[in-house]
Amino acid sequence: MLVASQPKEIEPAEVQAILGQGVTLPPQPKVLIEIDRLANEPRVSAKAIVASIATDPALMAGLFKVVNSPAVGLSKRVDSAEIAINVLGLTQVVNIVKSIAVRQALGGNSAAFEKFWERSGDIAQIAAIIAKKQYSICSIPPDQAYMAGLFHDCGVPVLMQRFSDYCQSLASGAWPDLVEEDKRHDTDHCVVGYMVGKHWRLPDLILGAIRHHHEVPTVIHPFKTIIALLQTATHIYNVMQKLPVEREWAACAELAVEELGISLNGMEEFEEEVAENFTAG
């Protein structure tokens, strides 16, 4: 019998082991520090938040791209950040902005980095679509699902910057076996990603998803739900890419779909519906 548990905290020894390898955490961009400060003020002004976002044109463009995507599913196109805040709420907009900023901060211009971010972006969109479809059951907002999708493997580009041969197969477009990559370098991309998320002050729910997204979802709610959602999104991404069924999915599929209110018998139809929504964007 599987017993639900709290997400595991990172031990200080694990942190020191990672940092001792010369791994450095990317600093949070100044614009996000300012947005966080404004968002925590008692009487926050939407105009002040918009003015901060507007200092980074790429961030503003990315916000509109996400807000107007099928993952968010608004009935009318949004062309103003202030309207986006009024429609979605300040918390959702700040979460979306943070998700976009991670792409800039962890960047990389090589083909390997481009492949990584293309995959993460697709999984983020799929996760948001699933969250929207199953919201009445799982109660995970699409913006948090999007964050989990984009951040879940954020330890990978950090390790790619530290070790020149980490995930080398990405350069040729092939997704590597991250367990084997971690063993080769005596590291853990989930721990590194968690450290990045903690450094960036991401919500606890997202930190739990980063830390445990390769495990059978047996932690307590709502962590169990976000992990199940992320695993399902990754599986659907692989189906859309016509990749073989992953061993990881075979181990967690039953628990994951049950958590999201999807039947295994209806999974194929669900995958097709999500894929249709995704390609509509």
Q: How far is CA 256 from CA 26, 238, 262, in A?
A: 32, 16, 9
**Residue 151: which of 208, 67, 68, 85 has the closest Cα?**
208
pTM above 0.95, yes or no: no
Specify the CATH superfamily of domain 21-279: Hypothetical protein af1432 (1.10.3210.10)
Structure confidence at residue 2 as a pLDDT band (50, 70, 90): very low
Whether 71 has a pLDDT exceeding 80, the answer reads no
Name the token pair of 239.
């189906």
What does the domain layout of the chain look like in residue ranges? 21-279
Mapping DSSP onto H, E and C, the string for the chain reads CCCCECCCCCCHHHHHHHHCCCCCCCCCCHHHHHHHHHHCCCCCCHHHHHHHHHCCHHHHHHHHHHHCCCCCCCCCCCCCHHHHHHHHCHHHHHHHHHHHHHHHHCCCCCHHHHHHHHHHHHHHHHHHHHHHHCHHHHCCCHHHHHHHHHHCCCHHHHHHHHCCCCCHHHHHCCCCCHHHHHHHHCCCHHHHHHHHHHHCCCCHHHHHHHHHCCCCCCECCCHHHHHHHHHHHHHHHHHHCCCCCCHHHHHHHHHHHHHCCCCCCCHHHHHHHHHHHHHCC
Structural contact between residues 158 and 23, judged by C-beta atoms closer than 8 angstroms: yes
| Average pLDDT across the chain, whole number | 86
pLDDT of residue 229: 95
Structure confidence at residue 7 as a pLDDT band (50, 70, 90): low
Q: Please tell me the least confidently modeled range out of 103-112, 145-154, 227-236, 252-261.
A: 103-112
Average pLDDT over every residue of 100-128: 85
pLDDT of residue 127: 95
Using one digit for the tens of pLDDT, what is the confidence trace for 20-65?
888 888 888 888 888 888 888 888 788 888 898 888 888 888 888 8
